[in-house]
Amino acid sequence: MVEIIPNFHPIFVHFSIGLLGISPILFLIGYFLKKKTWSEVIYRTAHINLIVGTIISIFTVITGLNAYDTVAHDTQSHIAMTDHRNLGLLNISLWIFMSIWSFRLLKKSLTVTPIFLIFIIISSVTLFVTGYHGSEVVYRHGIGVMRLPDDSRFNVLDKEIQNLKESDKNHIKRDNEHSDGHDHKH
């Protein structure tokens, strides 16, 4: 498996984004519907998602740091990877802080304060910005991708384009000179 997947960061990152991404939504639902009988279940689920998501995110960061040091990359990719790494370190710091806060709230009451909601929304924004930068590292710079897709269909397209260019050149050569002595360019 290690030969197929050079690092485990892509495995953990999806759990981090999923659990931490849904947690603020659940906190908001619980906060605005706190008088409903099932709001306690929503709050409890939000707290669990936050804490479990943060624990998994610690592994996400560890595997991300390993990937940062081991995957092949060029200078441009290195800059993108460094930005993503720095955002990831900021991110995990915020989520650890939020998890500790959440854990302390669990001891007193399940409900959260508006300031908690503001901080968790800020943490969510950094999560999605970090995720976006990570997707740029993979999809724009090709980092962690073992091979590009088969481009044989593009080779066929390239040949067709080349043939059109050649036929245009022949057309220009033939049509540049007219019987009345003037010429034109295409």
Q: Which domain holds residue 62?
A: 9-139
In this prediction, residue 72 has a pLDDT band, given cuts at 50, 70 and 90, of confident
Characterise 181 by phi-psi region: left (phi > 0), alpha (psi -120 to 50), beta (else). Answer: left
Q: Do 89 and 158 share a domain, yes or no?
A: no
Question: What was the pLDDT predicted at 111?
Answer: 83
Residue 186 lies in a domain: no
Q: Do 98 and 169 share a domain, yes or no?
A: no
Q: Do 124 and 159 share a domain, yes or no?
A: no
Q: Do 119 and 159 share a domain, yes or no?
A: no
The β-bridge partners of 183 are 177
Grouping H, G, I as helix, E, B as strand and the rest as coil, residue 183 is: strand
| Entry pTM | 0.74
Residue 3 lies in a domain: no
Cα angle 111, 112, 115 (rounded to 5 degrees) comes to 165
12 vs 43: CA distance, rounded Å: 24
Question: What was the pLDDT predicted at 167?
Answer: 67
Residue 40 lies in a domain: yes
Residue 4 lies in a domain: no
In this prediction, residue 1 has a pLDDT band, given cuts at 50, 70 and 90, of very low
170: number of Cβ within 10 Å: 10
* CA neighbor of 64 nearest in space, from 42, 81, 39: 81
20 vs 41: CA distance, rounded Å: 17
Q: What is the largest CA-CA distance in the chain?
A: 97
Lookup: tokens for 8: 């485990």
**Do the beta carbons of residue 47 and residue 105 sit within 8 Å?**
yes
pLDDT single digits (tens) 76-116:
888 999 999 999 999 999 999 999 999 998 888 878 999 99
Grouping H, G, I as helix, E, B as strand and the rest as coil, residue 37 is: coil
The total of structural domains in the chain comes to 2
pLDDT single digits (tens) 11-47:
999 999 999 999 999 999 999 987 778 888 999 999 9
